[in-house]
Amino acid sequence: MDKEKARQRISELRGIVEYHAKKYYDEDEPEISDFEYDMLMQELKSLEKEFPDLITEDSMTQKVGGHVKEGFLQVTHEVPLQSLQDVFSIEELKEFDKRVKKQLDGEQINYVVETKIDGLSVALEYVNGEFVRGATRGNGLIGEDVTENLKTIKNIPKKLNENVNIIVRGEVFIGSDEFEKMNEEREILGETLFANARNAAAGSLRQLDSKITAKRPLDIFIFNVQRLEGNTFNSHNEQLNYLKKLGFNVNPVHDYCTSIDQAIKAVNKIGENRDSLSFGIDGAVIKVDELDLREKLGVTAKTPRWAIAYKYPPEQKQTILKDIICQVGRTGAITPMAILEPVRVAGSLISKTTLHNEDFVKEKDLKIGDTVIIQKAGDVIPEVVSVVKEKRTGNEKEFSMPTHCPVCGAPAIREEGEAVTRCTGIECTAKALRSIVHFSSKVGMDIDGLGYSIIEQLIDKELIKGIADIYTLELDDIASLKKNGKKFAQNLINAINESKNNDLSKLITALGIRHVGSKLAKTLAKKYRTMDKLMNASLEELIMQDDVGEKTANSIYDFFKQEQTIDLIDKLKKSGVNMKSLEEESSDNRFEGMTFVLTGALQEYTRDQASEIIEKLGGKTSSSVSKKTTYVLAGEDAGSKLTKAQNLGVTVISELDFKNMINN
């Protein structure tokens, strides 16, 4: 490549790498895999090595990624938290050994090989054995003060076993099982899933509210002494043993090696066993053990010369796609799964893996009977990379998504604009947890005390299987979940019984009908007055409702025509759950056909109270201003909505005007 083309490619790569580094380090929302990012960095490093005069100080090859997040105090690291140089082959490890020996004139060198934990690097500072401050790596020189968040991590000792002044470096992470459990719970609650355990850990630690951090299953391994007052140790290995003695949770995988060959064996051993570890890794680290030799070797602006990180390449294997079956997740998502001829990849025997959705199957052009290439994504999750089309025989079979749920038989739908096909059955056992959690939630039947973990326990103990079983629970069933749980059980029984008296609108919301939120549920309850009338409404009648589009009308109509829905409503009726609107029918519809938008701070009403009055008098509220808006009710400090109303010529009323409209 000539110099001008190199200059253009370097400029392009710097922009791409900078963007993805920001997504990874600062926003904890990566868009590409670690391997893809590493390959971009390697290409950039190679070009800069070939054309060293094109290297600039702001290149990502010359600095540590990451910035201080707004809202945190800055911490200047007494000892910089450097990153490591990455290598991707055994030959490069041998070259590292040669460089070190050359610089040290052939002195005897011992190494320590450790797992490179996939998490967020932090420094912990102790004064007289007391934990006083903790900070993220940031850009290596300046990090974020996350002391209060770190105090929520159980494996960080608040008081050491000796009264020493010490700064240590560690990696905050979330264990593999804990990560799966956390994402599963987020899926049930309808929250965005974390891309991987590293970003879950980073995002959790960098919360401005430590109460949120405390709810996340964070852990830590300590792997280095940054500074120790009165340090008399000669080697890294000695320091690790001392860190254990002080009470730290030290990186459990660290092998002492007397040669580079032993170190390479240790690296290979970690690679073979990495799938059995309880935590994620993104490589192995080789460090010179002797501290005096580290001093002689020194550091660059970004990396130490006495350590290097080996990144394991994703191992790929060919196998046969024997079948594609569909599994139903707890949200009702129907996911195609590849059943594979078992093959060992990166130390694990892989016999099945997710195919995500219908579009993924089509994009990869997968057919049952194909020879496929699989690898472990991020060294953890097996994935189908591609089809070996030249090995097709003509006997392969096309796959199509099911039209009905394979678990409960209810219709399976894929709505326009969505990638996921879903089961629509309200009593489907596969999504019982999600359905019950939503039914009991504050926006639903608001059953205080019946949260995610309690529902999960009730299902695990087979005390409930579906929504209707909530109302058959007995005191002893609930008390068995907790030690001395009688009081909790009685409070929950009371809350369950109270929920029977909820308005019809709460029940409609709790059923989780697709596209029906609490606002529309209120409209439906007000219009139809009873559950029976809503269930018997025709599709044409539903479509004619102002707030109900064709897609929503179809969703409501289809939902109430399902046998599972009819069965559930019947069970709830027999349990004494209210099926009627409790709101008095009003003959005063003075606001009928009018749409109000509320903005700014009102003095005599809350937003909810004002909205309730408008709806009681036949009007509607909206969150956005348009030409169809009748009035904008503007309180103090009204902002952009007021400006937009004025620009569109929409009538703006004050709180006094609103009161007069009500009273008159």
Q: Which residues make Cβ contacts (< 8 Å) with residue 393, sequence separation at least 6?
A: 369
3-class DSSP assignment, residue 123: strand
> Residue 419, Cα to own-chain centre: how many angstroms?
19
Residues 21 and 67: their CA atoms lie apart, in Å, by: 10
- Helices 34-50 + 3-21 axis angle, to 10: 150
Q: Are 197 and 239 in contact (CB under 8 A)?
A: no
Is 627 part of the annotated catalytic residue set? no
Find tokens 């608001």 and name the residue. 446
Residues 249 and 239: their CA atoms lie apart, in Å, by: 13
Q: Are 589 and 623 in contact (CB under 8 A)?
A: no
Residues 468 and 473: their CA atoms lie apart, in Å, by: 10
3-class DSSP assignment, residue 344: strand
Q: Which residues make Cβ contacts (< 8 Å) with residue 118, sequence separation at least 6?
A: 173, 196, 197, 198, 279, 280, 281, 282
> Annotated catalytic residue: which of 3, 22, 23, 116?
116
What phi and psi, each to the nearest 5 degrees, are found at residue 322? -75, -35
Antiparallel, parallel or unpaired: β 631-634 and 651-653: parallel
Which of left, alpha, beta for 496 (phi over 0: left; psi -120 to 50: alpha)? alpha
| Residue 345 in tokens | 């990849």
CA torsion through residues 339, 344, 349, 353, sign: negative
3-class DSSP assignment, residue 254: strand
| Residue 429 in tokens | 């056992």
Q: Which residues make Cβ contacts (< 8 Å) with residue 74, sequence separation at least 6?
A: 68, 138, 142, 143, 144, 145
DSSP E strands, 128-239: 130-136, 142-144, 166-174, 218-228
Q: Are 583 and 525 in contact (CB under 8 A)?
A: yes
Longest dimension (CA), the chain: 97
| Residue 625 in tokens | 């201003």
Residues 535 and 528: their CA atoms lie apart, in Å, by: 9
Q: Which one, of 369, 336, 308, lies nearest residue 96 by Cα?
A: 308
| Dihedral of the alpha carbons of 486, 488, 491, 497, in degrees to the nearest 10 | -80
3-class DSSP assignment, residue 18: helix
> Residue 81, Cα to own-chain centre: how many angstroms?
27
Residues 377 and 35: their CA atoms lie apart, in Å, by: 9
Q: Which residues make Cβ contacts (< 8 Å) with residue 165, sequence separation at least 6?
A: 126, 127, 128, 228, 229
Give 603's DSSP letter: S
DSSP E strands, 118-269: 120-127, 130-136, 142-144, 166-174, 218-228, 254-257
What phi and psi, each to the nearest 5 degrees, are found at residue 157? -70, 135
Q: Which strands sit side by side in the sheet containing 651-653, from one edge to the other?
A: 620-622, 595-599, 631-634, 651-653
Other beta carbons less than 10 A from residue 421's beta carbon:
22
What phi and psi, each to the nearest 5 degrees, are found at residue 119? -155, -150
Catalytic residues: 116
